[in-house]
């Protein structure tokens, strides 16, 4: 892994990231991995892609959103808009050419928002792993939406750790303003979506809805019958690397 570095945003936020330009500088798109909600760049999918890119001499960028991992700030202040701003700042700093954006769970939503914000010619492809666009809507019960609207923070059981998972009113309200699935998503690049049919967090039908909403005709959905939400088994990561490699032009 490349040495940890920090990028300081105008308001002082320090965004931890790792970047490798690759020995074959300028050849092929840079792969940018966007983690899920309360996740970070130390996960197995992110590190596997980074290591693969580095071994092939290709560019890759990992990051921790503010309030997550090694970045500064408070998770309670996080929103999709805020984290998109950080991703775009790091892309501007490090990446001059085309990109393959890879988003896991919430990162799959953020991947779409980042792609929409960039010039179309910069996006060589998108790879979503159990992508969760609009989860503030379909993933939040009506009664809980009322509580969030009133300014209440929700705490849910966390199957991945001892601490409950919070949903903050600010994140929820910003998410509701960033919904994409009800209309056409104006992206024309190739898209690959990987989703486990045993996913207990994001229904695999969301990937089908996303495929339908995308304007692109080059969308492929791969369903893994026994796959869970994380899709972090060795076979799952091999599928991810294959999908990313296809769009990034990795040849070995």
Residues classed as catalytic? 105, 199, 229
Decide if 40 contacts 70 (C-beta within 8 A). Answer: yes
Residue 126 C-beta-side C-alpha neighbours within 13 Å = 36
DSSP 8-state class, residue 187? -
Burial class (CB in 10 A: 0-12, 13-18, 19+), 106: buried
**What are the angstrom distances between the C-alpha of 224 and each of 49, 149, 186, 216?**
19, 36, 27, 23
Q: Which of 55, 70, 53, 56 is nearest to 7 (CA)?
A: 70
Number of neighbouring beta carbons within 10 Å of residue 239 = 17
Where in the chain does DSSP place strands (E)? 5-8, 14-20, 30-34, 60-63, 99-104, 123-129, 154-156, 165-167, 191-196, 219-224
**How many C-alpha atoms does 132 have within 13 Å on its Cβ side?**
26
CB 125 within 8 A of CB 190: yes
């Amino acid at each position: 892994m490349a040495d940890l570095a920090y990028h300081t945003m105008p308001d002082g936020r320090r965004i931890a990231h790792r970047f490798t330009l690759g020995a074959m500088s300028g050849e092929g798109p840079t792969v940018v991995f966007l983690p899920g909600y309360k996740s970070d760049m130390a996960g197995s999918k992110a590190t596997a892609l980074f290591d693969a890119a580095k071994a092939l001499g290709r560019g890759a960028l990992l990051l921790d959103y503010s309030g997550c991992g090694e970045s500064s700030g408070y998770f309670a202040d996080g929103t999709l808009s805020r984290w998109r701003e950080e991703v775009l700042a790091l892309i501007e700093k490090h990446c001059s050419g085309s990109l393959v954006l890879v988003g896991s769970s919430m990162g799959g939503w953020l991947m779409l928002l980042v792609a929409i914000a960039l010039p179309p010619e910069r996006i060589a492809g998108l790879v979503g792993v159990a992508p969760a666009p609009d989860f503030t809507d379909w993933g939040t019960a009506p009664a809980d939406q009322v509580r969030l609207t009133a300014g209440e923070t929700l705490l849910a059981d966390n199957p991945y750790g001892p601490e409950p998972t919070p949903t903050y009113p600010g994140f929820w309200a910003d998410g509701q303003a960033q919904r994409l699935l009800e209309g056409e998503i104006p992206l024309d690049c190739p898209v690959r979506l990987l989703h486990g049919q045993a996913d207990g967090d994001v229904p695999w039908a969301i990937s089908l809805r996303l495929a339908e909403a995308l304007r692109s005709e080059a969308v492929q959905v791969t369903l893994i019958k026994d796959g869970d939400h994380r899709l972090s088994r060795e076979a799952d990561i091999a599928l991810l690397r294959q999908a990313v490699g296809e769009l990034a032009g990795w040849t070995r």
